[in-house]
Each structure stands twice: as structure tokens, then as C-alpha cells.
Amino acid sequence: MNTHLQHQIHHWLQQDPDPSTQAQLQTLLDNQDETALTAMFSGRLAFGTAGLRGEVGPGPMGMNRLVVRQTTAGLGAYLLAQINDAASRGVIIGYDGRHDSYAFAHDAASVLTAMGITVRLTTRVAATPLVAFGVKHFNAAAGIVVTASHNPPQYNGYKVYWENGAQIIPPHDSGIAAQIQHAATQSIPFISLDDAQKQAKLIWLEDDFYQTYREGIHTASVLQQHANTQPVSLAYTAMHGVGADMAEAVLKDAGFTQVYSVAAQREPDGDFPTVNFPNPEEKGAMDLVIAEAKKHQAMLACANDPDADRFAVAVRTAENDYKMLTGDQVGVLFGEYLLSHAPAHQRLVGTTIVSSSLLSKVAQSMQATCYTTLTGFKWLMNVGINKCEADNQFLFAYEEALGYTVGSMVWDKDGLSALVAFAQLCAELATKKQTVWDKLEQIYRLHGFHLNAQVSIALKPDTPNIGEHLRQQPPANIAGFAVTSSDDLRQSLRTFSDGSTAVIDLPKSDVLIYCLENGARVIVRPSGTEPKIKCYYEVVETMTTTDTWTSAQQRAEQTMDKFIKAHQASLPS
């Protein structure tokens, strides 16, 4: 084993506070497993706009207690340098139900308080939206939530909110990352939480904090549409996460009494024993909650992901079965419902470039403003905050990956307020003798049947650079339809078919968007980390008076199939 690697490992072992990861490293050393050790010390787990996320394990490439301490020291240094009153405003910290989350959160609190920064730490597991809420509620300088959301059991993560209550965006990500690199070469400040409390640097967030969030949902202006709740019944799963107590409480507060929780998935369990992958989008993840809904003949089968920031729903059909709504379908239902009740000064809604274009059309028809951002709630919320004006306040935003923000109590996706809002939406439809399917069909008849699909294409080592190919040879048509405009977000430029151009007001990103004369759209996103590209497709079919939902859907699916095949055949291989 090379001397440099040995030095790195021994230096790490001297600092590692966790006997478990120490033992793992020592075993690898004893076995002279140079391959595994080289991988663990090949770099550092990257800190970006999503913070940290990775598999739990020893070394700087894993999620472990030393990495968390170093990361926190870097974050603390950055906050003290950037925000004048960071120490007194402090940082709020919460954590999910994964095995290491408690230790990671407590370590982070010990480091920050040792640096003189006040910490508010939850006394028990907390849904991610509660931490985002807490940043605003306490006017904190930042927030940390220890969570890996819906990743597999072996993962954990460290998510950071800035003082505005939204996730960090550039330049803060690179600024924090630089401070982390520096902190990793220094001794890390650390005091016990008992000492931190004695020094009045640690404030425990007890049940009253959780109840403040609960009351916030109950009194939120956007959630005051009190239709008769009796027709609405729903099964619910927390998916072995932290959402159940709060989900049941806020539904009860809103008047929903027919709520049936999946007992086997109700309590936090970092092993996620009943699901292969604790993500509601994954095949089979909703099986138990749909079975619970069938047992009670409930209208809805609802899920939060394990940190309760996402919301998924399957709705009973006329055939008495259950069908999952896509994130785009839920998003447009929310948009139409919330805008139909919103006051004149609160009509700002947002979505992302890869989500359906339908929300923007609905918003336009309802005299509302719809903005579009890069993918991710960090962009949706930071842009939404900046676009707020006295006469045009934020109302709602969503992305297709089951993330929704209803109102401005939380500047991040919130699966708990979304759960209440969707139940209220269904209650209102029931008073009109309508179903979710009726409302969606109504929207499709007005604006066209919108169908969206996503395809990842694995690239061979010798595949030409697809992004560069498309930039050098821009397609004039795709699948037989003329390209009416093409966006190159790397150049912040939109080019129309007549050669005219317009500047795009979005951060630079390696994304290409093509809009076609038939209303279809394709987005090409090369992956920066893997040998693949992602393509996002949308087709729009006009619904005629003779169309049924089924006939329009079948036609859209046929169009989509041809579109995807023709587009992928046109790409260099």
C-alpha cells in the first residue's frame, strides 16, 4: 500500500469519533484491501446545492460523523463570514429516522455551538418541511436537516437552507464547499450538548415547535376552502418515514375523519423493511397503501416519502381500482384549484423546465403569472421569492417529481400541506358531484391532452458528444414536425425558426429545449456525472367533442411512441 494512502488513513483514524467506522477502516487495513481503501480516500463527498448525500461509511467519500463535523465547521465559518448576526440568529437543525441521523444532527449542533453559534435542535425526528418552516419562523441564519429523503437505506444526507428559508444556490454552495475543504485540515471545534445548553447556545425544540407548524397549516390562507369533508376518505402511508403523526394531525384539523394509516409503514424505520426503494414513484412502493384504500373503499391512497417533503396519490377510478396521478397531473390540479380561490394580489405560480407546460396555459387563462426555472426546488423557491411583489404574491409551485409548495409558509416542497390541500380539492369536487378524473378531463378539453415522458439513454464510450452535435447541427424538424424554437441554456439564447433570437433569463445550464409546430416539446439534458443523457418529452393532443379521455389518451400515447422513436433515431450513436 502506498505511503500517501497509509498516511491519509492513519490521520483519519486519529480524528474519527465513531468506533463503528474506525473498526470498518481498521478491518480493511488489516486485510490490506487497497482497492476499497483507495476508493474511500479518492476525494471528498462533494458539497453542492443539495448539500451532501451519499452512502454511510468511513473515509472522506462517505457519509459519517467526521465528514458531518467537518462540513458543519465549514458551514459555520461561511455563515459567520457572510451574515453579520449569524451567531445570534443561529441555525435550526432537524433530522429524519435513518439510523445515523440522530448522531449526525447532534454532532452538527456540538460543532456550531462550539463556534459560538446558537442552535435550535429538534428533540425528536422532524419532517424536512418543519426545518424549512423553522428557518423563517425563527429568522435563523440557516437550517440543516439530516436526511437522505427517499434514497435507499444505506444513504444519508445533509441539506442546508439559507437565511431566506430556501435551499442554497450558487454562490453559497461553492463558498461553503471551500470552507469545508479548509475545515478538513484543521482541528474541529466541539463541545458537549450539555455544555452548549449551560452556555445558552443550545435551544431544544420541543413539542410546541411542532404544534406551531401544525397551527400554521391549519390557519394558512390558501387552505381555508372548507367544503364538506365527509365524502373524502383516504388511506395514508408515511413509508417508514417521519410524516405520520403530523399528517394525521393536520388532516384531523382540516376536518378529515376517514383516514386509515398503513400500520406496517407508520413508524420511522431506517431499514425500510416493506419497500424495495422508499420512493413513491418506484414500482411497488404504493402497494400497501393502495391495498389499505381498497380495504376501506377509500377515495384516495396517499403517501409521503420518508422525510415527508413529497406527496403522492392514487385515486379510485370508475372501475373501483386505483390509479396513480403523475406529478404533472397533481400539479395542474393544484394550480387550477388554488387559482380559482386566490385573491387578485396572490397569483404567482411556478414550475420547472422539465415539468408539463400545462400549468402555464392554465395560469394564463386565469390571468395569473407562471414562471419557469431550472429543475429543483432550490430554483423554484429562490426565484419565487425574488419575483414576489406587493400586488403579485406567491401562491404555488411544483415539479414533476412529486414536489409541491402550497402558499408561502415553507419555501421548499412540503408533502404535508400538499396532503391537506389535495384532500380539500377532492372535497370541493365532491360537492359538485365531480371526481378528480372529471376535473382533469375538463382541463384537458380546454387546453389539450398533455402527456409527458422521460427517457434516459446510456451512452457508449465512443458515442459522440450529443450536446455538441446538436449545437453544431441544430435540427430543423423532429419526427416530421418543424422546430419553431430552440433554447440553449448554456448560451442563455432562444433561436426561432426565422433566425431571430431572444435572451433566456435562466442560469446557464447544459440543457437544450426544442418546441415543435404541433405543440410537442423535447428537452435534452446531458448528465454531468454519468455517461448518459436524459430526454424529456411532451405531446399535446386537442380533444374534440367526440373524444373520450380514453381515445385522447390512446392517440397521445401513439404520438408519444412515434415521437420518442424518431427523436432517438436522430441522435448520434
- State the catalytic residues: 149
Listed in sequence order, the DSSP H helices in 199-341 are 207-219, 244-253, 287-296, 327-341
Map residue 291 onto helix, strand or coil: helix
Tell me phi and psi for residue 32, to 5 degrees.
55, 40
Distance separating alpha carbons of residues 298 and 295, to the nearest angstrom? 8
Q: What share of the chain is helix, strand, coil (3-state, %, to 5)?
A: 40, 20, 40
Cell triple for 122: 429538534
Bridge partners, 521 (sequence order):
515, 538
Q: Vertex 167, ends 166 and 170: CA angle to 5°? A: 115
Cell triple for 544: 374534440
Listed in sequence order, the DSSP H helices in 366-414 are 377-387
91-95, strands of its sheet edge to edge = 52-55, 155-161, 142-146, 91-95, 119-122, 202-205
DSSP secondary structure code for residue 507 in this structure: -
The amino acid present at 293, given as its one-letter code, is A
Q: What angle in degrees, to the nearest 10, is found between the helix axes of 358-365 and 436-447?
A: 80
Nearest of 27, 71, 77 to residue 45 by alpha carbon: 71
The answer for 389, left when phi > 0, alpha when psi is -120 to 50, beta otherwise, is beta
DSSP secondary structure code for residue 418 in this structure: H
Distance separating alpha carbons of residues 372 and 490, to the nearest angstrom? 16
The answer for 92, left when phi > 0, alpha when psi is -120 to 50, beta otherwise, is beta
What's CA 526's distance to the chain center, in Å? 20
Q: Do residues 485 and 515 touch, judged by C-beta distance below 8 A? A: yes
What's CA 563's distance to the chain center, in Å? 28
Nearest of 28, 19, 56 to residue 6 by alpha carbon: 28
Q: Kindly provide the b/e burial profile for residues 399-419, where b requires at least 16 CB atoms within 10 angstroms of the residue's own CB.
A: bbbbbbbbbbbbbbbbbbbbb
Torsion over CA: 193, 198, 203, 207 (sign)? positive
DSSP secondary structure code for residue 220 in this structure: -
Distance separating alpha carbons of residues 326 and 419, to the nearest angstrom? 15
Torsion over CA: 261, 122, 100, 56 (sign)? positive
CA separation, residue 109 to residues 43, 59, 86, 191, 203 (Å):
26, 21, 14, 9, 10
